[in-house]
Amino acid sequence: MEKSVKKDLIAYSSGWVSALLNFFPGLGVGYIYQRRWRAYWVTTIVSSLWLIIGFYNQLGIDPSDPIQPNNDLTSLLGLFLIASITAFEAWFTASKAKQDSLQNLDSRNT
């Protein structure tokens, strides 16, 4: 896809919708809304790796040991952090693309 067309698609997308879609499902759905496939796949891979690491950490805990905590929130907090970062990044990118689009439009008119 041509770079100017891609920037226009991001500029026409709503920043708060893409941020909301990235935050609540937490798997980069806002990137699909913005048609940013590379960012979507990076988010998907990072989230998957985080869950796999959390799964392997849980395998190392002995369930018969009464001292070990059973309520490890590391996986949940990690996914919350990933969702928060991607939501902010999607909103920021959309707002920056809108500003750039407005500046380009102003420079064409003058």
pLDDT computed for residue 92 by the predictor: 92
Could you list the pLDDT tens digit for every one of the 110 residues in the chain?
566 777 777 887 888 888 888 888 777 888 888 888 999 999 999 999 998 998 888 887 777 777 766 667 888 899 999 999 999 999 999 898 888 887 877 677 66
Query: Tens digits of per-residue pLDDT, 92-106?
Result: 998 988 888 878 776
Distance, CA of 66 to CA of 75 (rounded, Å): 21
49-74 CB burial, b ≥16 within 10 A, e <16: ebeeebeeeeeeeeeeeeeeeeeeee
Smallest CA-to-CA distance from 56 within 75, 77, 76, 82 is with 75
Cα→Cα distances 83→33, 67, 89, 97, 99, Å: 15, 32, 10, 21, 24
The pTM (predicted TM-score) of the whole model is 0.79
